[in-house]
Amino acid sequence: MIFANVTKLSHWRSGQLLRNQAIDQLFYALITMTYRSFFLPLAFATASLAGTPAYAQQISGAGATFPAPLYQRWGVELNKIEPGIQVNYQSVGSGAGVKNFTQGVVDFGASDAAMTDEEIAKVASGVVMIPATAGEIVFAYNLPGVPALKLSREAMVGIFLGKIKTWNDPLIAKANEGVQLPRTPIQVAYRSDGSGTTFVFTQHLSAISKDFDDQVGTDKSVTFPVGVGGKGNEGVTSLIKQSVGTIGYVEYGYAKNNGLAMASLENKAGKFIAPDLENGAATLANVQMPENLRVWPIDPEGETDYPLASFTWLLLYKKYPDAAKLAALKKFVSWSLTEGQKFAPELGYIPLPAPVVEKAQAALATVQ
């Protein structure tokens, strides 16, 4: 009754009693809701701050979705060893990561497709690209009864161009002597969202087939002539799991953790290589690294090279005005390049080969 009495409307009829109650309720509710939405959570946050050292350095990064779990794990593990450094990473997509990095709203970026020269030119303080980890793309499929499929280069291209429509097509059977292939129609699954995975995948297929290059081309998001699109690696994975006869391209970790069968791919030397973290690491070790560390093994020539392995990069500015932030960031990156690599295989990523780590450390040293 507090507020109503203050306003003294004594000439009203007795029905006002209920109205005054409603006003009191209104004010009470406003106060309660403000308390609940603002003060209580801030109290929570402040209480939990008691555990955080006052000098904690916050570093935030955004970018590619593919390496996000690994980067986040690195952030948490490093924070255990050095509570003063808190590194945050959120996956927003390579493209958005590059945009955010260019606009200066994050401390570091990440991209599966590194940065093009035009993009680098837009960043005032200069860019240092550091390969942080690597992954491989696999052809995952759902065909019970065919645990080890071999796909020749023609078969790979034919399936994704829609020329090969059933599993028992001679083009597939040629590489799989002695395996009983069913007459099931092939359903293709691709990435509906723009992604570095699609970029690497189409880059390889365009390099080995002019047809594919003309019809589909290379990009983070392309139009395939056949198939169904799933959102993210997890979308394609669930498409493959749902229907028998589906084949799609996903990152190794997703296929492994979901128990999907993975096809062995024919490389330039004509050998069929099964997807494996060791094969991938060996392939990447053979790659010639240019000055800016941006390179893709588009069609590797070695006998044991897996054709679809690629790096993913951390993007750092050449200059950081804040000295404390610079020190923390450098600690994070150099720790990740060395100690951090041991978390990679467990999560389905390829650990960086030693020569690459050396070059990366050298590049890191140029960051001021």
Partner 1 sequence: MQKEDTGGILAEYRAGPDLFRILCWLASAGVVLALGWIVGEIVIAAMPAMQKFGWDFITNSVWAPNRDRFGVLPFIIGTALSSFLAILIAFPLGLGIAIFLTENFLPPGVRNVVRFVVEMLAAIPSVVYGLWGIFVVIPIVKVIGDWAVQNFSGLAIVGPTAYGNSLITASIVLALMILPTLTAISRNALSSVPGTLREGAYALGATRWEAILGVILPTAAPGVVAATILSLGRAMGETMAVAMLIGNSSRLTWSIFEPSGTLAGLLANQFAEASGLQVSALMYAALLLVVITLGVNLIGEAVLRHTQRKTAGIR
Partner 2 sequence: MNTESADPATFLYGNTASHTWRSWTNRFLSGLVIVFSVITFVPLISILYLVVKNGSPLLTAAIFTELPPAAGMTGGGFGNALVGTFVMVGIGLAIAAPIGILSAIFINEYATRSVLARAVRLVAKLLTGIPSIICGVFAFAVVVVTLGTFSAYAGGVALAVLMLPTILLTSEQALIGVQSAYREASIGLGATSLQTILRVVLPDALPAIMTGIMLAVARAAGETAPLIFTALFSQFWAKSLNEPTASLSVLIYNFSSVPFQHQIDMAWTASLVLVVFVTMANIAAQLAFTKKP
C-beta separation of 130 from 314 below 8 A: yes
Binding status of residue 156 toward partner 2 by CB under 8 A: no
C-beta separation of 66 from 134 below 8 A: no
Out of partner 1, partner 2, none, which partner does residue 6 contact, by CB within 5 to 8 A per kind?
none
Q: For the window 43-82, what string marks contact with partner 1 as x by the rule CB under 8 A?
A: ----------------------------------------
C-beta separation of 123 from 75 below 8 A: no
| Nearer Cβ to partner 1 (37/58) | 37
d(CA 183, CA 98): 45
Write down the residue that tokens 């590059």 correspond to: 98
Q: What angle do CA 211, 213, 219 make, to 5 degrees?
A: 150
Per the structure block, which two tokens stand in for 357?
């780590």
Binding status of residue 166 toward partner 1 by CB under 8 A: no
Select the span of 15-23, 152-160, 165-173, 289-297 touching partner 2 (CB under 8 A). Answer: 15-23
d(CA 59, CA 173): 52
Amino acid at 1: M
**CA 72: distance to chain centroid?**
11
Select the span of 75-83, 93-101, 123-131, 140-148 touching partner 1 (CB under 8 A). Answer: 93-101
Span 215-234, contacts to partner 1 by CB under 8 A: 217-223, 227-231
Amino acid at 22: A
- Shortest distance (Å) from residue 71 CB to partner 1: 17
Binding status of residue 239 toward partner 1 by CB under 8 A: yes
Provide the 10 A C-beta neighbour count for residue 302.
17
Helix (H) or strand (E) holding 127: strand 127-141
**Residues, the chain:** 368
- Shortest distance (Å) from residue 252 CB to partner 2: 10
C-beta separation of 293 from 355 below 8 A: no
Span 211-250, contacts to partner 2 by CB under 8 A: 232-234, 237
| Nearer Cβ to partner 1 (83/217) | 217
- Shortest distance (Å) from residue 85 CB to partner 1: 27
- State the first-to-last Cα distance of the chain, in angstroms, to the nearest integer: 65
Binding status of residue 154 toward partner 1 by CB under 8 A: no
Write down the residue that tokens 């094969």 correspond to: 279
- Shortest distance (Å) from residue 122 CB to partner 1: 11
User: What residues make contact with partner 2 under the rule CB under 8 A?
Assistant: 9, 11-13, 16, 18-19, 21-23, 25-26, 29, 33-34, 36-38, 40-42, 44-45, 48-49, 52, 56, 58, 60, 62, 65, 68-70, 72-73, 75-77, 79, 86, 88, 90-92, 96, 103-106, 232-234, 237, 253-254, 256-258, 343, 346-348
Residues contributing to the site for partner 1 (CB under 8 A): 92-96, 98-99, 119, 192-195, 217-223, 227-231, 235, 238-239, 242-243
